[in-house]
Structure 1
């Protein structure tokens, strides 16, 4: 389906579900990027690679929200998600953002075998009570993508706040999505609620404190055997140490900052080995 027809299709679906006056729409820029409009804001996508600590190969790109007001003031994603006042508006905004990111990833030609990591906002999880992931699966199918190409990130804080989280997790998994536990403080003791739903990835936030052996060993004793670890906020100098610790993946502004393109880290050569 041509890009313009896709945009018209999604905008029509938003109007059908949320009403003709829903303050949300997808638009195409002259540069053939996709942006979204919501509550007077312009929403855009930035992508940050997630790389293997041993080879430097890119395994995924996390899509990050960029929001700009009419005054050109930048807003944080947290500020944007404070705007909706009703549950339906939260669901609309969260789906709009993920559709925006999926469209831009499609235009930028996400390489075969790489995952697209998308955040699910906690307010979305509390607002949707059943059939989680069904609507977004239909969006992906329209784009020629599948849930198997997506890893949904759920924050550690949200896990403790959403009473029906296990139902949401089961619904997502039944549709083929992979799941990541996000924003985990490295010094925090593993919480049973964090691990009960068997995340595929555990994203340890190195920005929250130093990664030491006692903290890591506590996780080693508890995490699911097939879960992979991602060190968020990593630097190039840390990569060999992280690999030695058995942490498979890394992500960080010093490795590769978020940008409008799908990139490989410039810290690695074409063979995937770390440049000295």
Structure 2
């Protein structure tokens, strides 16, 4: 596989479980695991007065907690014989995104688990820095289901947009290796200028030229959310992984009104690879 550096984002919620999922991925790929233990710092009081003792005490407590998680992660990686490095990122909002961006530039995939995803603010910073700025794929690793980057059967969520095409290219090596890839379109736009003569046919032909075994499926949502349709169908076909593009609309619109990607980030109980 082409993923040789795995960047795992670990927060202060369920760090052991999130780290375990990341170590499983790195072990499977025989990849280097770079662990970033992340904490969002509370901004200091603005104005003419220095930060109060409450703020300083909170900062010291946060740093002690993150330092403990860093040491725990290093011990676990060493015990499991992994090639690894561990670092702490502790900064205010936008600066966290910048640090994640810098680290993600030298990784092949960014991994987050349920612990990180339980914090929507932290998740947004990771998406901003890792997916939008560094343009790295993001892997969601739910604790209740095995996650693999050597999937036997895959589901590619397709809508004939650039984001979906980029996701397909990021996952191409996996698709070639897989036994079967289901290209799934939910309520597809059948107009020629959007999806060609037959929705899904163009991407199926592209993948087939690379030796991918492709099945094209057009599904009706029946009024259900698209993310629900995708996850339910992934279970029906016994898929190991969903691959999808990030954010079909503008980032601002997604953040205010939600959307398929936002819902997947928040609620998916299924392994998902997201790219843009």
The TM-score by the shorter chain falls in which range? 0.3 to 0.5
Task: Name the one with the larger helix percent.
Answer: 2
Larger Rg: 2
TM-score by length of 2: 0.32
